[in-house]
Structure 1
Amino acid sequence: MTEGEPTDLDRASRTRARILQAARAEFAAAGFGGGRVERIAARAGSNKERIYAYFGDKRSLFAAAVASAVEELGGVAVAGPDGLGGWAERLFDFMAAHPDTLRLLRWAHLESDAPAEEADERLAELPRPEDAVARWQQQGLVSARWDPHDLVVLVLGLCEVFHTPPYRPGEPGAAAVDARRRALVRHAVSLLAEPAR
């Protein structure tokens, strides 16, 4: 093997990543029940046998796809000088830019609890938004009246609902509607989280 030539491990890693990306697209479009491994294989430039070798069965592939989407969503930076309202804005923008990720997560809620364990394992590696909210509460930056987990769920829900049909704006004018709604979400979250004076 010459220097710079990809190893078997490199090729396997790239193949696995292509399959996972293709699975995310397929399951986002059709859900677990409607998703087809044959279409995933074709989209990934692979074959069903390779998919099963890497991921096991279709349910395990769905779980891996959902876990990667949850991990991606969990990677939206929480902590920052702009606090809870800033995180809400970043989440809003992420959801606007990644409609397939949201669609895949909605399918997961509808069809299965199976991905939860793998998603929990992946999320254990990421900073928890609840921890950031609890820190802000201790610092007096966020109202201690509310449970940190409940605040996180509220922010997620507010951001998500505006990107869910029938509320998702269509073109033309989507950018202006998004800007207005992003400002509304930030304002609502900031008011709710404001500590008592």
Structure 2
Amino acid sequence: MTASFALTEPDSGSDAAALMSTAVRDGEDDVLNGAKRYITNAPMTGLITVMARTAADRLPGNAHVTPFLVPAGTPACASVQRIGRCGRGGALSADVFPDDVRVPATAVLGGKEGFGFRTAMKVLDRGRIHVAAVCVGQPWDVPVISGGLNDLCLGFRDPVENRVGLRLTDHELAWLFSATG
């Protein structure tokens, strides 16, 4: 199953202390409302971990933030607007809008409000390391891509050597690779 992690918001970014999305207890359920931005895998997810504020005041250790496990397709939890991101074509993103989404109290990650926040952040930390590794590794694909540009230019009877812009790009790329080892 593909999962999504919904922390980032339009007005607070990924600052958990400043989250605007809320979860309010109503009987045996929690009711989630808010807006989540740039959620990786949202268009194809089976499960979304939605981070929401469960206390009005900021609590030590961000205990005012609770992760909720929300099955994809839950009524009123719309995932819309696929978002393309440069260099991340394999992971589709979308905005997610919980609008009076009802989930059972058992959907709280960690079993009680605020408890699962640290666990969720550990997952996020691993994801951040992955993104950094991807950013370091992607430049190594550029020579393969630029080789395709050379073929394209030859198709127009103009070798890549005659194209100053491409030549500079290749030169800068060679410098980048030599500088990073």
* TM-score over 0.5 for the pair: no
TM-score by length of 1: 0.27
More strand per residue: 2
Using CA pairs under 8 Å that are at least 6 residues apart, name the structure with larger relative contact order, 1 or 2. 1
More helix per residue: 1
